Amino acid sequence: MRQRHNSRFKQLITIILMTFSSSVMAEDRVLIFAAASLTNALTEVGETFKADTIANPTKIKPVFSFASSSALARQIAQGAPAQIYLSANQKWMDYLVKQKAVATDSRVTLLRNSLVLVAPNSSSLNNVELNKDWDIASAVSSSRIAVGDPDHVPAGRYAKQALENLDLWQEAMPLLARASNVRGALALVERGESPLGIVYATDALVSQKVKTVATFPENSHKAIEYPLVIVGHNTNFATRIFYRYLQTKAAQAIFVKYGFEVNSI
């Protein structure tokens, strides 16, 4: 009888320990869905956070999934297990708010960016004057301008707004090489497949293969803002800690290093 009791007790202890271990492991990892343009900066933020024994005494591991803000937002709306979301525009954050998929009281605008025209380093172009007289067809010759798809990608939407504002959209529209995200557009220019591309200033900054030949006026498009939010009602310890870390001076310094403007929160 005593042996049976001990066996049941050991089973109970095993179940408790397994449950506790699973809980700790679940809190030890934070999955962040973030816009592709944040790849370099956020990767460094994550590495810095993991090495910071004061900010991260429990060894929380941030894990990133980078893609177009639209694709990530749709995945979250369909139940993807992201715990934090960082979008490259407010539209897709608004979408998730309407879907009741995020904790609205955690929404903050973390960063800002600007829009630039880039060319391969080997290009003879150095300065392009962006106005309604710019001959886009001659500039790209028989090729195309690389952009994030304006129908889905925030960078592409900003590009469309800017070109419309400069009365260049109708000429540019049939000459676009539409990429699935802004890093895809950058890659087309880096490989020389497109002579020009419209990307974020931060993308141009991290590339060793392109140069900025023009900056679009700030008033030619909506403000390029990066809102941050906690997904669902995710209140576990690890999520809260990394969410707060993204707003610290240490994280801000890294974002600035990669060319982002940091909003005061």
Indicate the domain borders of the chain.
2-112+225-262, 115-215
What local confidence, expressed as pLDDT, does residue 9 receive? 39
92 vs 9, more confident: 92
Same fold for the pair 2-112+225-262 and 115-215? yes
Res. 20 pLDDT band, cuts 50 70 90: very low
In angstroms, rounded to a whole number, what is the distance separating the alpha carbons of residues 222 and 157?
9
Rg of the chain over Cα atoms, rounded to whole angstroms, equals 23
Q: What is the 3-state secondary structure (H, E, C) of 49-89?
A: HHHCCCCCCCCCEEEEEEECHHHHHHHHHCCCCCCEEECCC
Residue 4 reports pLDDT greater than 70: no
Residue 101 reports pLDDT greater than 80: yes
Q: Which residues are within 8 A (CB) of 107 and not within 5 positions of it... i.e. 6 or more apart?
A: 93, 97, 227, 228, 229
What local confidence, expressed as pLDDT, does residue 157 receive? 96
Considering only CA atoms, which of 15, 219, 263 is closest in space to residue 115?
219
pLDDT digits (tens, 9 = 90+) for 147-183: 999 999 999 999 999 999 999 999 999 999 999 999 9
What local confidence, expressed as pLDDT, does residue 263 receive? 83
- 115-215: CATH homologous superfamily? Periplasmic binding protein-like II (3.40.190.10)
Q: What is the distance, to the nearest Å, from the Cα of residue 194 to the centroid of all Cα atoms in its chain?
A: 23
Residue 26 reports pLDDT greater than 60: no
Q: Specify the amino acid at residue 210.
A: V
Residue 19 reports pLDDT greater than 50: no
Residue 96 reports pLDDT greater than 60: yes
In angstroms, rounded to a whole number, what is the distance separating the alpha carbons of residues 2 and 103?
51
Residue 22 reports pLDDT greater than 60: no
Q: Which residues are within 8 A (CB) of 90 and not within 5 positions of it... i.e. 6 or more apart?
A: 109, 225, 227
For 2-112+225-262, which CATH class?
A: alpha beta
4 vs 93, more confident: 93
Residue 21 reports pLDDT greater than 50: no
User: What average pLDDT is seen over the chain?
Assistant: 90
Other Cβ atoms closer than 10 A to 77: 16
Residue carrying structure tokens 């939407």: 157
pTM comes to 0.82
Over residues 237-253, mean pLDDT: 96
